[in-house]
């Protein structure tokens, strides 16, 4: 393990932001947007994706400096396990730290979403 990051996001915030296409297109990839459109609880899922992205940025030690939220993509495997895919500056930062992957986990409860990321 090289580093760990975590973040909490309020689901209520994303209930308001889901109607703002400019924001969504700036922070979520096409794959993430497709995932959110399939979810009946889109705000909860959006808050979870955002928390995971923030957790990854913290594990990279910079926050969103040198790359943006769109450069961290949260996908899912066939069983629904979240996966972090890094692009452009985020991927470069991971490699500069000697990392090869980031493991992520997402949880939701009581109007909050939590993301945890471990850089390996």
CATH of the domain at 8: 3.90.470.20
Listed in sequence order, the residues at least 6 apart from 50 whose beta carbon sits closer than 8 Å to its beta carbon are 7, 9, 14, 27, 69, 113, 115
Listed in sequence order, the residues at least 6 apart from 17 whose beta carbon sits closer than 8 Å to its beta carbon are 23, 24, 46
Q: For residue range 49-92, list pLDDT tens digits in order.
A: 999 999 999 999 999 999 999 999 999 999 999 999 999 999 99
Contact 31, 70 (CB under 8 A): no
Percent of the chain predicted with pLDDT > 90: 91
Total domains in the fold of the chain: 1
pLDDT band at 39; cut points 50, 70, 90: confident
pTM for this entry: 0.94
Give yes or no for residue 40 having a pLDDT over 80. Answer: no
Residue 83: strand pairing partners: 75, 103
The pLDDT assigned to 41 comes to 82
Structure-token pair, residue 31: 């794959």
Its domain, for residue 38, covers 3-119
At residue 11's C-alpha, the angle toward residues 7 and 15, to 5°, is 135
């Amino acid at each position: 393990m090289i580093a760990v990051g975590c973040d909490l996001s309020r689901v209520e915030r994303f209930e308001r932001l889901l109607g703002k296409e400019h924001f969504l297109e700036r922070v979520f990839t096409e794959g993430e947007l497709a995932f959110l459109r399939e979810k009946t609880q889109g705000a909860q899922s959006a808050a979870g994706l955002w928390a995971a992205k923030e957790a990854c940025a913290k594990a990279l030690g910079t926050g969103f400096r040198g790359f943006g939220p769109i450069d961290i993509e949260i996908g899912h495997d066939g069983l629904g396990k979240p996966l972090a895919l890094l692009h452009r500056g985020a991927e470069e930062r991971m490699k500069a730290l000697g990392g090869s992957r980031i493991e992520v986990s997402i949880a939701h409860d009581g109007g909050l979403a939590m993301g945890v990321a471990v850089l390996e």
